[in-house]
Homo-oligomer: A and B are copies of this chain.
Amino acid sequence: MKYCSECGASVELKIPEGDNFPRFVCDTCHTIHYQNPKIVTGCLVEHDHKILLCKRAIEPRYGLWTIPAGFMENKEAVPQAAIRETWEEAHAKVTEPELYAVFSLSHISQVYIMFRAHLAEPTFSAGAESLEVRLFDESEIPWDNLAFPIVHQTLTRYFQERKTGKFAVHVANIAPLPK
């Protein structure tokens, strides 16, 4: 951020009076520009004991497999955003998603809110941001070609719990891959 989005003047990074964090502050119109984490939300979709994954048609991680998910929009509720993203990326219709995980990716200031869901109809196809959408049996999961650590974490926890038939709601911080 270099310019004030309200008046167009230059902004300065400093800690406003009474605050504890540095913010972009406009000394011309006195707007304080807060920057906050973004929510990514989506659905771990099960059908016939298989899991729906999307092959990414966009960077980053083009060509790798992921769970349908994306940035929540203003004026949405979280489950509604997860249903929308699942539709956009996989043309898969799900109903009544159940909360499964709140994962903090603090290194990139994102919070993933993931749901478990079932296909409402047994149809799906690649959305604009996917090359391919497929159902995978547990034994077929492309573990070496998953797009993000968060996908690996979600699937690992899910398959472990599925054996027991009982699903918790997970809260964890997901570290980046070592460089």
Mark A residues whose CB is within 8 Å of B.
1-8, 10-11, 18, 20-21, 24, 33-39, 71-80, 88, 99, 102, 104, 106-107, 109, 111, 113, 128, 169, 171, 173
A-B contact pairs, 29 of them (CB 8 A): A1-B5, A2-B6, A2-B8, A3-B6, A5-B24, A18-B128, A20-B88, A35-B74, A36-B38, A36-B71, A36-B73, A36-B74, A37-B73, A37-B76, A39-B39, A39-B111, A74-B109, A75-B107, A76-B106, A77-B106, A78-B104, A78-B171, A79-B171, A99-B102, A99-B169, A99-B171, A102-B102, A102-B113, A111-B113
A-B pairs with the 8 shortest C-beta distances? A77-B104, A3-B8, A74-B109, A77-B173, A1-B5, A169-B169, A77-B106, A5-B5
Complex: A116 Cα to B98 Cα, angstroms? 20
- Please give the count of copies of this chain that the complex contains: 2
- Give chain B residues whose Cβ lies under 8 Å from the Cβ of A113: 102, 111
A107 and chain B: residue at smallest CB distance: B75
**Closest Cβ of chain B: how far from A150's Cβ, in Å?**
13
**Closest Cβ of chain B: how far from A34's Cβ, in Å?**
7
- Give chain B residues whose Cβ lies under 8 Å from the Cβ of A76: 37, 104, 106, 109
